[in-house]
Amino acid sequence: MSLAKRLDALRERAQRDVFARDDDTLLSSRSAAIPAEVAERHYLSPVRLRGVMFDSPRSIRMGVAGEPGHEAPGGQPVVVPATRVNLYVTLDGAESLALLHEDDDDLAQAHIEVDPEERRLVVGYLAERPDATQANQFFESSVRYIEAETKRANDMVREFNDSLVPALTEALERARQWAKERRNFADKLTPPRLQEGIWLRG
C-alpha cells in the first residue's frame, strides 16, 4: 500500500469514529466539539531526535564476494568473521517514522532500522576489517540522512494533522444529516394495531 493510501486509511479510521457517535450526541449542541476531540486521538506524533550512542563492537559473520573461482557452491558469498557496531539514535515519534517508511526500503538500504518499541533508530556498520575513520564517516553521513528524513517526515505529519479537523468536520456534517434522517424516520414509524382476542392482555 502506498504512503498516500496509508494516510487516507488513517483519515478514514478517524472519520469512522465520528460516524460511530450516537444520534443524541450528533444532534446535540456540543457536537461542534466532536472533530477536535476525535482528531486529538488520531494525530500523528512529530519526529524529534533526542541523542546518539554506540553499543560495543561485536563479532558477527558476514557474506563477502569470493575470489573468482573460489565462491561457495552455487556462487554464494563466502562467509567470513566480521565486526558490527550499532549507533542508536533515540527519538520521539518513532511510530510516525515507521508508518511513513512502512513500504519504503530507503532506510534499509542505508543500513538504518526503525525500532518503535525502543523509540530509536539503529544504524549498523559492519566490516570484515573495521576501520574507525570509515565507520565515523559512515555514521556521520547516516545521521545527516536521518536529519533530512526527519524534516521530510515532519512535513508529512504536519500536512496530515492539519487536514484532520477539516476532514472530520465534513464527516460530522454527513453524520448529522444521517442522524436527522434516522430521527425523522423514527418519528414517522407507527406500531401495527393488535387484533382483539389474539394477544395476551397483561
pLDDT at 140: 95
DSSP structure class, residue 195? P
- Nearest CA among 84, 88, 85 for reference residue 53: 88
In a domain, 177, yes or no: yes
In a domain, 194, yes or no: no
d(CA 72, CA 26): 68
**Which runs of E-coded beta strand occur in 72-119?**
78-92, 112-115
Q: Which DSSP string corresponds to 133-182? A: HHHHHHHHHHHHHHHHHHHHHHHHHHHHHHHHHHHHHHHHHHHHHHHHHH
In a domain, 67, yes or no: no
Quote the domain boundaries for residue 44.
3-62+75-186
In a domain, 200, yes or no: no
pLDDT at 99: 85
Blockwise average pLDDT, block size 10, the chain, 202 residues? 83 95 93 94 95 92 67 65 93 90 70 90 91 95 93 93 96 96 95 78 60
Counting the structural domains of the chain, the total is: 1
Which residue is it, cell 517514522?
Answer: 97
In a domain, 9, yes or no: yes
In a domain, 29, yes or no: yes
pLDDT at 202: 58
Is this model's pTM higher than 0.85 or not? no
